[in-house]
């Protein structure tokens, strides 16, 4: 049995859809940012919080958990700058409770969702896992500190882990049964598509004076299904005992500016966007682009979906989501 914490969330629910075809899965989620409809019905669902030791004790005593995949976190950079306590409580303190309870129940394998935000403002155009980590936001720091705690636990208590540092997750499941939904929505691609569906009046571009080719921020967009596949591989190597500890970037290796993403959305949907230039948003680095060579070399993972395909799947989801989520 695999425990997926945060399995009702955007990325977690995409992993669960794949994982249930080969494994028994229990999902723990407090539904604070995830949705019941997003959890595949073949998974067992427990509503609860990973910071609650009693909820965890119950799961670890009821099921024979072989490994934990830990997605549950708050993950908005701007919000973390405004409300760091929330981030340190939910991302750090609750995860510590999880790790403590895992050790108590002798569950020693975990996959941890980390982020490009651990790198801060990188000194290089293409970020490898060896690029130095100097996060500039509470969100990035909350993830980095857990990475460090995992390493300490591995050393002291034989915890085995794979850390996956996601770049910008986007896109939706191929059938459009599930996809990205945040409330309120702050992410670029869903905001553009909501606007193109007539749900928003315009798109604001946060900063057009960055030191990039067109002045807008560059990000590495990675399909959520590519992320799910990386988790399946990481889980397999942990369960097979082929890796004890590892940290990998997950990105496409290609950077797209905010303006380029808007243009691609216009091309895919055949609609024209109303775009407004706005001020910079707190905590945004100019450019975040991954090298994912390490996970390719060690596990054979490579992103399969282009930005165009990411947006096509997201567009299908956004058109379908009214039906799914009501």
- In the complex with ligand UFG, the residue whose CB is nearer, 68 or 288, is 288
- State yes or no: residue 288 binds ligand UFG (CB under 6 A): yes
Q: Is 158 exposed, middle or buried (0-12, 13-18, 19+ CB in 10 A)?
A: exposed
Candidates 139, 173, 210, 248; catalytic one: 139
Measured torsion, CA atoms of residues 148, 150, 153, 159, in degrees rounded to the nearest 10? -160
- State yes or no: residue 243 binds ligand UFG (CB under 6 A): no
Of 56-64, 181-189, 193-201, 308-316, which segment contacts ligand UFG by CB under 6 A?
181-189
- State yes or no: residue 193 binds ligand UFG (CB under 6 A): no
CB of 241 to ligand UFG, least distance (A): 31
Measured torsion, CA atoms of residues 95, 97, 101, 107, in degrees rounded to the nearest 10? 10
CB of 107 to ligand UFG, least distance (A): 26
Q: Is 300 exposed, middle or buried (0-12, 13-18, 19+ CB in 10 A)?
A: exposed
Residue corresponding to tokens 């049995």: 1
- State yes or no: residue 146 binds ligand UFG (CB under 6 A): no
- Which three-class secondary structure state does DSSP give residue 152? helix
- In the complex with ligand UFG, the residue whose CB is nearer, 108 or 219, is 219
139 is catalytic: yes
- State yes or no: residue 264 binds ligand UFG (CB under 6 A): no
- State yes or no: residue 144 binds ligand UFG (CB under 6 A): no
Q: Residue 196 forms beta bridges with which residues?
A: none
Which structure tokens are listed for 244?
Answer: 């004890």
- State yes or no: residue 219 binds ligand UFG (CB under 6 A): yes
Q: Taking the alpha carbons of 181, 164, 157, 108 in that order, is the dihedral positive or negative?
A: positive
- State yes or no: residue 217 binds ligand UFG (CB under 6 A): yes
Residues serving a catalytic function are 139
What residue ranges bind ligand UFG (CB under 6 A)? Answer: 75-77, 115-117, 167-168, 186-188, 191, 203-206, 217, 219, 258, 281, 284, 288
């Amino acid at each position: 049995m695999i425990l997926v914490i945060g399995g009702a969330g955007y990325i977690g629910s995409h992993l669960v859809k794949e994982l249930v075809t080969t494994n028994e899965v229990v999902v723990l989620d407090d539904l604070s940012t995830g949705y019941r409809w997003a959890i595949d019905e073949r998974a067992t669902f427990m509503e609860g919080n990973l910071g609650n030791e009693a909820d965890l004790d119950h799961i670890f005593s009821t099921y024979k958990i072989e490994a934990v995949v830990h997605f549950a976190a708050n993950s908005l950079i701007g919000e973390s700058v405004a409300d760091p306590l929330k981030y340190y409580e939910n991302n750090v303190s609750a995860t510590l409770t999880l790790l403590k309870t895992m050790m108590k129940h002798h569950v020693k394998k975990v996959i941890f969702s980390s982020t490009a935000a651990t790198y801060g403002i990188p000194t290089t155009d293409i970020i490898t896992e060896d690029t130095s980590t100097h996060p500039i936001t509470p969100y990035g720091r909350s993830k980095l500190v857990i990475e460090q705690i995992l390493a300490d636990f591995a050393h002291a208590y034989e915890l085995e882990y794979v850390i996956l540092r996601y770049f910008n997750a986007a896109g939706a499941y191929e059938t459009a049964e599930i996809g990205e939904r945040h409330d309120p929505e702050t992410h670029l691609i869903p905001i553009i598509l909501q606007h193109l569906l007539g749900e928003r009046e315009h798109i604001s571009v946060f900063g057009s004076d960055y030191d990039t080719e067109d002045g807008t921020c560059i990000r590495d967009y990675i399909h959520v299904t590519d992320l799910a596949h990386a988790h399946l591989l990481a889980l397999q190597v942990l369960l097979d005992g082929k890796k004890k500890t590892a940290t990998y970037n997950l990105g496409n290796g290609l950077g797209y500016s905010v303006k380029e993403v808007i243009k691609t959305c216009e091309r895919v949907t055949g609609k024209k966007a109303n775009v407004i230039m706005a001020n910079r948003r707190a905590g945004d680095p100019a450019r975040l682009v991954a090298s994912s060579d390490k996970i390719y070399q060690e596990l054979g993972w490579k992103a399969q979906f282009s930005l165009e395909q990411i947006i096509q799947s997201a567009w299908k989801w956004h058109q379908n989501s009214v039906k799914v989520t009501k």
